[in-house]
Structure 1
Amino acid sequence: MKLFESLRQKGAELWSWFRAISRRRQLESEMESELLLHLEALTADLERAGHSPAEAVRRARIALGPALVHKEEMRASLGLRWFDELRADVRYGFRILAKSPSFTLIAASSLAFAIGANTTIFAIGKQLLYDRLSVPHPEQLRMLRWNGDGHEVVDGMWGDFDSIPGSGTTSSVFTYPIYQQLRDHNEKLQDLIAFKEEGMNATVRGNAQRVNAAMVSGNFYSALEVRPQLGRSLQPSDDAVPGSGFVAVISDGLWLNQYGRSPSVIGQTVTLNQSVVTIVGVNPQGFTGAKNVQQAPDLFVPISLQPVIDPKGKTSLLTDQNLWWVNIVGRTKPGVKDSEAQAALDVQLQAAVRATIPVPAGGTIPRLALVDGSRGLHYADGMFRKPLFVLSGFTAFVVLLACANIANLLLARGAQRQREMSVRLAMGAGRSRILRQLLTESLMLAALGGAGGLLVGYIGRSTLPKLMTNAWERGDGTSFNAPFDWGVFAFTVAVTLITGIVFGLAPAWLAARVEVSSSLKETSKSASRRRKGLTGKSIVAFQVALSTLLVVGAGLFLRTLLQLNSVDVGFKADNLVLFEINPPARRYPGPKDVQLHQQLEQRFAALPGVERVAPGSLAYISQSMGNTDFLPEGEPANPQQKRAEFENSVGIDFFSTLGIPIIAGRGFAPQDTSTSPKVGIINRSLARKRFPNSNPIGKRFKADKKDSDWIQIVGICADTQYSDLRSAPPPQFFLPYVQQDDAGTLVYQVRTRMQPAALFPALRSAVQSVDRDLPIIDYRTQREQINATMQIERTFAALTAGFGVMALALACVGIYGIMAYSVAQRTNEIGIRLALGAQPFQVRSMILRESSWLTLVGIVFGVLAALGLTRLVKSMLYGVTPNDPVTLLGGMGLLLGVAFLAAWIPARRAASVQPMEALRHE
């Protein structure tokens, strides 16, 4: 009760203070009236006592005392004096900052870039790692996952999974029959929803394009408690019968871009993978579904449409008991603990698996786990968490550098204003008053930098995501854009206040401790000045140490990028255009899709400017993988041995188009058709792995299943990089796509001397001549594709290089400032040295030697810090170690060079001092 009463009293005082400030003029008028009333009353009493009116007024004024004193006392009682002093400090601070525009511009600009960098990283990190789904009460959502021991009864997966060495597999996808069993028997969660996001071909208002569609269960919107901003949501009745429910709810983005937010969108149709669906609603702004918070699917359709709009093989995935593919999310029930719900759902998962999947001897059933679903699948955690934390560390160091630089500048200004502070102290100002005045100036300077930082951060939060997005996707609206909300604004304000206190406290403290008597002497060299010099040198050493750390870190990431760029990919990546063709399975079931691709391949090859064309099931260096069992004839079965190898179904001109050498046997030829004996080509790594002691040419193997046809090895090709640049070339084999039962989506690789933009219209026309509803997907060059796998490395190299340059510039300013200050304070000493016979080059060498020792001290501490901290980013490096001597020596040499240049001007100025002029001032 006492605490509550104290808080209530403080709140009342604060409210009274705010009211007093807001009613300032009225209060001043009331004070005047009250003092006048007292004066008139006292005057009347004195007149009644027999005094004349003039004498009564005189005596009343004497008795009442000075009016100004009473006003000040009343202002103090209301808390207005503090506000008046603060307002005076702010006005004076504005005059001081305006008096030195160069200082103000330099300090505010460095702060703006430093704070802006922090704001940018925070805004992006907040969205990727901390923002929640835009649904009511997202903290109640739980994502279902399962953990296996390596022997789990999971035949196939379409979705996310992680293979943990020694711990089996973990994933968040389930078969649809298992979802139905869990949904029907669930008692611990409010509801369970299923969803799956997939890229699909769509025709919107006559334009063929690629869209991201979410297939969702009928209870999706009701369970998430989301209402559309226009029309209606999907209902359980839309999802009642497999193959029915040809309706869709579109995203706010699609509504804006394609329909201009027209209300007449309701009832219009969209062709989705050759199936016509009717738009019945528009999702609210900011709603991104249940998968993530960065990107919203363009359309939401009932999952019952899967067999129609996205068939996978001959069996509907709604009844397929082997393919694990849907994600499941539930909402917690009041009073039910997560552990209780997880235990119950795990029992239901065991029963659902046994009811739908035969469990062989030695097979195990995965164990169910409930995890936080408030941010969806949050893939960004594993991909971006460490890089963003590292970038946050870099930006924090940059802020410290900027603070150190401004603190040094303020120390130098404090030395110039030492006489001013002494005069103010001599006239009665308290040291706390001086300290508050100088801190106010620092906070005003920080506020200017913070305002600029907001602008820099606003620009950066739009620019940085573009650096982290595929170049060919930047124009289609799929790149995320970090929101600039009140949380980001509050972070920027907090950083601004902290920086203002950090760089302003020490200079203000030293200035407030000035010695009045000695400072008023024109030529005094007080101990306070010596302390300022020592403090300034310590700050500069700290700047050099931080700069060394940042430069070494930037050097490591730059060298990583250079090492990745120098990787031999094993094929000719220049003048190669890539794009995908995804024929809808409903219109082009196998083998019709094979025939379609053959027709397209012939059309592309006949185009002017096209040298060669080769489709394949995946693009190299694209983070894509595809593996299939590789079963050589006569190889003994070993259950403990991994038998799957990376596979690529390609066109007959694949090797000549990419420039991959055939080192033994032959490549694919026109006689390798759908009716000829099946053939395959393996790479050198696969030959060494599976045929270590024999010649594989002419030998046979089976792919995928033991009862499939035999495939004869007709050639061996050179190794190439596969999914990325960091991994060694893996074993892989190649099959002609024309000999497959179905081809599905193929990536076309076109060798051309034309500019990609100039070739695209001809390719687009060739596709439309075959099927007007087929879009060209992800049109890009092979170089763009390779660069896309280095997005994080390229972003890090660019950002850290920028931070390194900024660190060098701040270190240069700091060294120049402290050496210039030192020379100015030692002018008399230098003059005496020159008068006694010292040569100018000796004086110059003395100053340069001092700056070199100062720099070396900072470098030593910076290198020690780098050796400790760079180990934390070891996993992000490639081809270089955290203690790489070339990078360390290069960073040290760069800092020494910058220090020499920064100290040269003060050293030259010291060497040009005229002895008689210096002694005259003494």
Structure 2
Amino acid sequence: MSSIIIDIKYALRLLLKAPKFTAMTLGVLIGGLSISLFTFSFLYSTIYKPLPLPDGESARSIGVITQGSYRLPSAYEYYQVKDDLKHFAELGIYDNRDVRISKHESGKNISGSYVRAGFFEFARVKPLVGRFIQAEDTKKGAMPVALISEELWQSEFNRSDDVLNKTLELNGEITQIIGVMPKGYRFPNTAQVWLPLSDKVFDLPANLSEPHFAYARVKPGSTQQAAEQELTQAINQVYQQNVKLYDMPDVEKRAQLFTFQMAQTGGEGAIAFIFLNAVAWMILLLACINVGNLLLARSIERSKETAIRAALGATTSRLVSQLMWEGVIISVVGGVLSLLLVGAALDFTEITFHAWVPSGGSFWWHYGMDIETFLVGLGFIVITILLSAFLPAWRSAHQDINTTLRDGTRGAQGKKAGKLSRFLVTMQIFLVAILMLIGSISGYIAHTFINLELGDDYSNVMSARINIPTNKYPEQEQQLALIEQLREIVLEHPSVQGVLSNYWTDMSTVTLDGVDYASEQEKPQIDTIGVIGNTETVGVNLVTGRQLSHRDNLGSRLNVLISQSMANRYWPGESPLEKSFTMTIDDKEQRVFVVGVVTNRMNPSSLFGSLDGADEIYVSGRQFINSYQVFMYRLLPNTPNAEDIFYRAMFQVDRNIELVYAVQPAQVNLNKMREFMGLLSNITFGTGFFALLLAMVGIYGLTVNSVAQRTHEIGIRRAVGASDRNIIQLFLKQGAKQLTIGLGCALVIFALLSYGFHSFTEELFPIYMYFMQATTVVIGLSLVVMFAIYAPTKRAVNMEPSTALRYE
């Protein structure tokens, strides 16, 4: 024990005598540990952390995988199978929608959930006051009731004791408060109010039934696999019974039980978790290699001393102990500081994130130092000690005494030590290159999103997305009348300058007259949008011709608008007006006529491309009617209570209209996306810069040590007539060999990753972009590495030959 204390004191003296070395090594280690630990904690809390509810670890969300895509079960499927399942202890459905609280002439939107009896029992949480939603509350014609969150109780009723005698106007209906949930309860996601999900959702046939979220618990004694198999068989049986009856696609469905966190990512959370943690682990490995390199360089400096100690009879364990305590102290101090830094960063993330996301995000998104993060941090410290302290010490202690004493005279570098240094530099170059190449793609994606030229103008435009209840309005004429009535009421407001109701109908197959197509696959696929109103409301301006109007209604000739890119592509140098072509709409081939050309705008097909990269066709929403509509209305600047204009119109026309998303400025989602992409870009470039900094520090440190060990050799070369330029070129040539090997291996892996990414994204990015990314990284990293070799070599050759020959 006394010998260990002596070794620790000796290590501390060495570290204090070299404050620059100690600070640099600690900085490298803290950076690598902090990035890795923060990444793990953030992703674990977002994707894997158990729900903060009683029995939260057993709660499951139901997903239906169809043709490889994540879907939700329909209300019809749930109703048909719910009573026949033997492996489920609990089962239910719900729907998440924004709810409008109206107050006098204004109001606000809050997150809500429509639930059925048994929902709150599933969560194992009782209300502070009142009761749960029961079966009689969901019956048709039942009195409107709701449970509210503790936060809403405080803000709307000042925690009044007689809250159960109070009402709120929710979605235009006077609703009785029947209960208050405890503080922090937001299950199933971000809900602040819970309303009954009516039995009416089960009235629709299989082909019209809407998808709903579903929850479940597996019965004790059963397995999740057995429950999934049973549910899969039941849903497929129900679906197949309706395939021919309603002419539905003949596909196979697979039911799967996810955690609520994983369901939120569509089942793809594991991919993001593994990929991002792999990047973080590479950063940690790079930091460990750097610290190990620096400590190994210190050990190599002491190799002759170590060999003499061994020759005098010191045991291997004693030598390892003497050599490794520097690394252990740095690893422990760096690990503790990293834990403190990550804890502060997670607290800051918690505050910033919940301020950035108005709803606060999912109720399980809480970030801070928890037991899982602490234990993983301890694990990282142990790994760091092993890689950065023990292995370099073990390597130095297990040297060949005779070889070291022979090679180690007057500053000569041992052959094995030289090979190890070169290998570590090559490994560093490889890891940094991989990180920078992956980061460059992520940065490019983020940069592209941030700087998209959209070709439209959503300033002072409000957006509302609705679903018309088809059970109440089964005929297209009825749906169109409702849309027109909504538009008229909104247009009557003095601050409204224009209203556009539209929906995206997917891509249509177009057949142009006079063109011979070898197959259906050769025919153009063009984005098609149904519109009612003037497209200039959202900045898509008329170039020539006219807008679609009330003249383009059911029974009249099918007229369309086309984008300027389409006009230039298929009718260059001539007017496209009154040109006709055939397009597939609603699975039918229709002859349409061009009556107008509008400016280009970005659409899903031209994302990441130029504005004229993809074409658009606008059909009349009065001729092709859809129950899903996106209302856009442009206002005068600074119009107060802008969202209330649509709410009043909607409640006046029909309170049963389903509002898919809250009425909000049309730019909100775009701005959020750009803010997120900006954050992603900053993180990507920050990580890449840190990796480059690690490489420079590590390679520079190793090169300094290598050059120092070869100072005697440099002195001899200069004494026999070698020029400074020849000596520098010799060192650069040796470094270039390591650079070539490291970059070559990284580029091979990057080529494989790029090929997979290019295929997966259906050639979203041009091939030259990958070459540009690779070229930029190769040039940048090469300059850094060669500078890290050149600087210490230049300093060594400036030393007088007589001084170099006496250098120890």
Normalised by the length of structure 1, the TM-score is 0.69
1:895 to 762, 781, 784: 781
Q: Does 1:334 align with 2:220?
A: yes
Following the alignment from structure 1 to structure 2, what is the Cα–Cα distance between the partners of residues 804 and 603? Answer: 52
Relative to structure 1, is the Cα distance of residues 856 and 747 closer, same or farther in structure 2, using a 3 angstrom cutoff?
A: same
SS at match of 1:913: coil
Q: Which residue of 2 aligns with 1:66?
A: none
Q: Does 1:201 align with 2:80?
A: no
Q: Which residue of 1 aligns with 2:378?
A: 493
Q: Which residue of 2 aligns with 1:105?
A: 23
2:115 to 194, 216, 239: 216
Structure 1 gaps of 5+ residues are 1-80, 148-161, 307-315, 607-611, 619-624, 633-639
- Is the deviation greater in 454-463 or in 444-453? 454-463
Following the alignment from structure 1 to structure 2, what is the Cα–Cα distance between the partners of residues 722 and 711? Answer: 22
Following the alignment from structure 2 to structure 1, what is the Cα–Cα distance between the partners of residues 170 and 250? Answer: 36
Following the alignment from structure 2 to structure 1, what is the Cα–Cα distance between the partners of residues 665 and 217? Answer: 41
1:181 shift after superposition: 4.2
8 Å Cα contact 2:468/2:628 also seen in 1: no
1:325 to 195, 211, 235: 211
Q: Which residue of 2 aligns with 1:478?
A: 361
8 Å Cα contact 2:498/2:534 also seen in 1: yes
Q: Does 1:274 align with 2:172?
A: yes
Following the alignment from structure 1 to structure 2, what is the Cα–Cα distance between the partners of residues 440 and 245? Answer: 74
Map 1:595-606; keep pairs closer than 5 Å. 595-601=485-491, 603=493
Amino acid across the alignment from 2:115: V
Q: Does 1:617 align with 2:617?
A: no
Q: Which residue of 2 aligns with 1:735?
A: 620
1:118 shift after superposition: 1.9
Following the alignment from structure 2 to structure 1, what is the Cα–Cα distance between the partners of residues 509 and 38? Answer: 48
Amino acid across the alignment from 1:208: G
8 Å Cα contact 2:418/2:706 also seen in 1: yes
SS at match of 1:806: helix
1:914 shift after superposition: 1.0
Amino acid across the alignment from 1:666: R
Following the alignment from structure 1 to structure 2, what is the Cα–Cα distance between the partners of residues 766 and 433? Answer: 81
Amino acid across the alignment from 2:419: L
**Cα displacement string for residues 300-339 of structure 1 (whole angstroms, at most 9, x for unaligned residues):** 22213x8xxxxxxxxx434223323333333322344567
Following the alignment from structure 1 to structure 2, what is the Cα–Cα distance between the partners of residues 629 and 864? Answer: 40
Q: CA RMSD in A?
A: 5.2
SS at match of 1:552: helix
Q: Does 1:861 align with 2:760?
A: no
Q: Which residue of 1 aligns with 2:514?
A: none
Amino acid across the alignment from 2:730: M
1:576 to 435, 459, 464: 459
SS at match of 1:317: helix
Following the alignment from structure 1 to structure 2, what is the Cα–Cα distance between the partners of residues 323 and 771? Answer: 23
Amino acid across the alignment from 2:560: I
SS at match of 1:325: coil
- Give the % identical residues: 20
Following the alignment from structure 1 to structure 2, what is the Cα–Cα distance between the partners of residues 299 and 87? Answer: 62
1:666 to 546, 556, 573: 546
8 Å Cα contact 1:110/1:449 also seen in 2: no
8 Å Cα contact 1:269/1:279 also seen in 2: yes
Map 1:5-24; keep pairs closer than 5 Å. none
Relative to structure 1, is the Cα distance of residues 527 and 412 closer, same or farther in structure 2, using a 3 angstrom cutoff?
A: same
Structure 2 gaps of 5+ residues are 512-519
- Is the deviation greater in 320-329 or in 280-289? 280-289
Q: Does 1:801 align with 2:701?
A: no
- Equivalent pairs counted in the alignment come to 770
Amino acid across the alignment from 1:289: F
Q: Which residue of 2 aligns with 1:52?
A: none
Following the alignment from structure 2 to structure 1, what is the Cα–Cα distance between the partners of residues 83 and 628? Answer: 37
Q: Which residue of 1 aligns with 2:90?
A: 191
Following the alignment from structure 1 to structure 2, what is the Cα–Cα distance between the partners of residues 238 and 86? Answer: 75
1:721 to 599, 602, 620: 602
Following the alignment from structure 2 to structure 1, what is the Cα–Cα distance between the partners of residues 423 and 288? Answer: 13
2:536 to 634, 638, 655: 655
1:827 to 711, 720, 732: 711
- Is the deviation greater in 281-290 or in 259-268? 259-268
8 Å Cα contact 1:232/1:281 also seen in 2: yes
Following the alignment from structure 1 to structure 2, what is the Cα–Cα distance between the partners of residues 269 and 836? Answer: 98
Following the alignment from structure 1 to structure 2, what is the Cα–Cα distance between the partners of residues 341 and 804? Answer: 45
Q: Which residue of 1 aligns with 2:793?
A: 907
Relative to structure 1, is the Cα distance of residues 114 and 467 closer, same or farther in structure 2, using a 3 angstrom cutoff?
A: farther
**Cα displacement string for residues 542-562 of structure 1 (whole angstroms, at most 9, x for unaligned residues):** 111212222222333334455
Following the alignment from structure 2 to structure 1, what is the Cα–Cα distance between the partners of residues 304 and 778? Answer: 40
Amino acid across the alignment from 1:537: R
1:216 shift after superposition: 1.0
1:200 shift after superposition: 2.5
8 Å Cα contact 1:687/1:696 also seen in 2: no
Q: Which residue of 2 aligns with 1:681?
A: 560
Following the alignment from structure 1 to structure 2, what is the Cα–Cα distance between the partners of residues 716 and 895? Answer: 49
Q: Which residue of 1 aligns with 2:440?
A: 555
SS at match of 1:378: helix
Following the alignment from structure 2 to structure 1, what is the Cα–Cα distance between the partners of residues 491 and 309? Answer: 87
Relative to structure 1, is the Cα distance of residues 658 and 267 closer, same or farther in structure 2, using a 3 angstrom cutoff?
A: same
Amino acid across the alignment from 2:191: P
Relative to structure 1, is the Cα distance of residues 497 and 673 closer, same or farther in structure 2, using a 3 angstrom cutoff?
A: same
8 Å Cα contact 1:132/1:375 also seen in 2: no
Q: Which residue of 1 aligns with 2:632?
A: 747
Amino acid across the alignment from 1:434: L
Following the alignment from structure 1 to structure 2, what is the Cα–Cα distance between the partners of residues 179 and 629? Answer: 33
SS at match of 1:398: helix
**Cα displacement string for residues 832-879 of structure 1 (whole angstroms, at most 9, x for unaligned residues):** 333333333333333333333332332223323333344454436842
Q: Does 1:406 align with 2:291?
A: yes
Following the alignment from structure 2 to structure 1, what is the Cα–Cα distance between the partners of residues 373 and 547? Answer: 58
Q: Which residue of 2 aligns with 1:172?
A: 72
Relative to structure 1, is the Cα distance of residues 801 and 466 closer, same or farther in structure 2, using a 3 angstrom cutoff?
A: farther
1:193 shift after superposition: 1.3
1:579 shift after superposition: 2.8
Normalised by the length of structure 2, the TM-score is 0.78
8 Å Cα contact 1:146/1:367 also seen in 2: no
8 Å Cα contact 1:216/1:301 also seen in 2: yes
Q: Which residue of 1 aligns with 2:126?
A: 228
Relative to structure 1, is the Cα distance of residues 275 and 533 closer, same or farther in structure 2, using a 3 angstrom cutoff?
A: same
Relative to structure 1, is the Cα distance of residues 560 and 839 closer, same or farther in structure 2, using a 3 angstrom cutoff?
A: same
Q: Which residue of 2 aligns with 1:441?
A: 326
1:526 shift after superposition: 7.8
1:508 shift after superposition: 0.7
**Cα displacement string for residues 31-73 of structure 1 (whole angstroms, at most 9, x for unaligned residues):** xxxxxxxxxxxxxxxxxxxxxxxxxxxxxxxxxxxxxxxxxxx
Q: Which residue of 1 aligns with 2:44?
A: 126
8 Å Cα contact 1:238/1:247 also seen in 2: no
**Cα displacement string for residues 199-257 of structure 1 (whole angstroms, at most 9, x for unaligned residues):** 222248997222221111111122x1512362245243453522325333334665677
Relative to structure 1, is the Cα distance of residues 465 and 719 closer, same or farther in structure 2, using a 3 angstrom cutoff?
A: farther
**Cα displacement string for residues 864-902 of structure 1 (whole angstroms, at most 9, x for unaligned residues):** 333334445443684244993322222221122112322
Following the alignment from structure 1 to structure 2, what is the Cα–Cα distance between the partners of residues 771 and 914? Answer: 88
SS at match of 1:897: helix
SS at match of 1:436: helix
- Is the deviation greater in 137-146 or in 512-521? 512-521
**Cα displacement string for residues 9-32 of structure 1 (whole angstroms, at most 9, x for unaligned residues):** xxxxxxxxxxxxxxxxxxxxxxxx
Relative to structure 1, is the Cα distance of residues 522 and 318 closer, same or farther in structure 2, using a 3 angstrom cutoff?
A: closer
1:533 shift after superposition: 3.3
SS at match of 1:617: strand
Q: Does 1:244 align with 2:147?
A: no
Following the alignment from structure 1 to structure 2, what is the Cα–Cα distance between the partners of residues 549 and 350? Answer: 45
- Is the deviation greater in 761-770 or in 184-193? 761-770
Amino acid across the alignment from 1:432: S
Following the alignment from structure 2 to structure 1, what is the Cα–Cα distance between the partners of residues 282 and 210? Answer: 46
**Cα displacement string for residues 668-697 of structure 1 (whole angstroms, at most 9, x for unaligned residues):** 46x769999797534359999999xx9866
Q: Which residue of 2 aligns with 1:302?
A: 196
